Structure 1
Amino acid sequence: MCGRVILTLSAKMIRQILAEEYDINDLNIDDFVPRYNLGPSQDMLSIIKHNGDYRSGYLKWRFIPSYAKNQNDGYKYINARSETVHEKVTYREAFSKRRCLLICNGFYEWKRSEVKKPFLFHRKDFNLITLAGIWQPQHLDDGSKEYGFSIVTTEANEVMAPIHHRMPVILDDRHAKLWLDQSTSFEELQHLMKPIHKDYLSCYEVSDYVNNVRNQDEICIQSIQ
């Protein structure tokens, strides 16, 4: 699964990468501050494709089904399993029509033992990671509207497996645009929703300081080894 991420690059670097890779040149993130512990209910930087153009902005990390009794039900659906995302009534329309990329440069997972131990997964250079997601417009209890997302997960690769049996679907540069393209076939999408190759990620143990989502500073990503 995936329940916490980081985005610690500078606004300048994020703009540069999105401009070079997706021709997004109007990204308004002047107020951006690095996020060391971003979790559900918070906004995450995303990329969608609309009318042939790539667009970037923030989506809310929760996915509220049309049948939900209240908006808090959305926190039950922060992840969607790749094996069933195309058929579950909660996700299938979004999977078919509204796929997105979620932008981070690392994510946490907890190893279950007598005491749960958090680990940070990242690229060796801490560069951007694009996660496969689905998004939708959704209505809140007060009648207002927001745009929410769920991260698609798959079985763990060799790096993740010692810590957890699931991981987010990570799309490298060759495959990210295929995920956003409406013409990509279901068979191709199934191929994309596989564990990333083992050399893509590294990980190390961090302190339980990260367990509290209110903690949002560099201590979160410090190795304890």
Structure 2
Amino acid sequence: MCGRFTQYNSREEYLAFLGEEAERDIPYDPEPVGRYNVAPGTRVLLLSERRSQLHLDPVHWGYAPEWWNKPALINARSETAAGSRMFRPLWEHGRAIVFADGWFEWKQQNGVKQPFFIYRKDGNPLLLAAIGKPPFENGNDQEGFLIVTAAADEELLDIHDRRPLVYSPDAARKWLSENTTGKEAEDIAREGSLPAEDFTWHPVSRAVGNPGNQGRELIEPLT
């Protein structure tokens, strides 16, 4: 599960971590994105490859095809997405990456849901696997995206049984490539995500439950 995350560093910091060698059509912007509580239903900076160049666009987080008569979905399971009626076209032609710094999960403790902030031990950005309806450049809700999740393992199971797929820069670039087939993308999803041992977490204020709340205090450890 991934229902909230942060995207507070600058796009230049995220792109530098991904690697500078790829061709890109992204305006220079050194200002921090500054989002400490990214919620579904909002537009989020999404990285994709179009015409052999990387693009970074604000895209609606959530996806529902025309025939879907339920609320929009925000996550897709890596184990089944490639073969499903709803997600197969997105898996094959709409792979993307969401830049993040960490994500939030809630765990039941003493009768209340306690939020935790989960992030890389080394402090590097997170490259979250995503799929959506391309071309991601029109800015409308029909071009929504979903974050790809997998079963949690090891200590992460203590927080939640699902987690987003977080890629290394090399795996992320292969995932984005228009030359990567859907089958190859399945291999990347299965083998390219970072292990649980690369992450750490701490409890944070329950104020993060309100998507209207923003600010660095939302990721500070409870004392």
Q: Same fold by TM-score, threshold 0.5 exceeded?
A: yes
- Equivalent positions of 1:75-154 (< 5 A) are 77-113=73-109, 114-136=111-133, 146-154=142-150
Deviation at 1:18, TM superposition (A): 5.7
Paired residue for 2:59?
59
Deviation at 1:27, TM superposition (A): 2.7
Paired residue for 2:44?
44
Deviation at 1:48, TM superposition (A): 0.7
Contact 1:132 1:171 in 2 (8 A): yes
Paired residue for 1:141?
none
Provide Cα deviations, 1:143-172, integer angstroms capped at 9, x if missing partner.
Answer: x65421001100102231110000001111
Contact 1:106 1:126 in 2 (8 A): no
Partner amino acid, structure 1, of 2:98: L
Deviation at 1:87, TM superposition (A): 2.0
Question: 1:202 aligned to 200, 203, 223, which one?
Answer: 200
Query: Normalising by structure 1, what TM-score?
Result: 0.85
Following TM superposition, the consecutive aligned residue runs of length 4 or more in structure 1 with deviations greater than 6 angstroms are: none
Deviation at 1:115, TM superposition (A): 1.2
Q: Aligned residues, how many?
A: 216
Change in 2 beyond 3 A, CA 1:185/1:26: closer
Change in 2 beyond 3 A, CA 1:67/1:5: same
Deviation at 1:132, TM superposition (A): 0.7
Paired residue for 2:220?
222
**Hey, what's the Cα distance between the residues in 2 that align with 1:224 and 1:21?**
40
**Hey, what's the Cα distance between the residues in 2 that align with 1:11 and 1:173?**
15
Q: Secondary structure at the match of 1:161?
A: helix
The answer for unaligned runs of 5 or more in structure 1 is 139-143
Change in 2 beyond 3 A, CA 1:183/1:214: same
Q: Secondary structure at the match of 1:209?
A: helix
Provide Cα deviations, 1:172-214, integer angstroms capped at 9, x if missing partner.
Answer: 1120011112333444322322452133211111111111111
Q: Over the residues paired in the alignment, what is the CA RMSD in angstroms?
A: 2.4
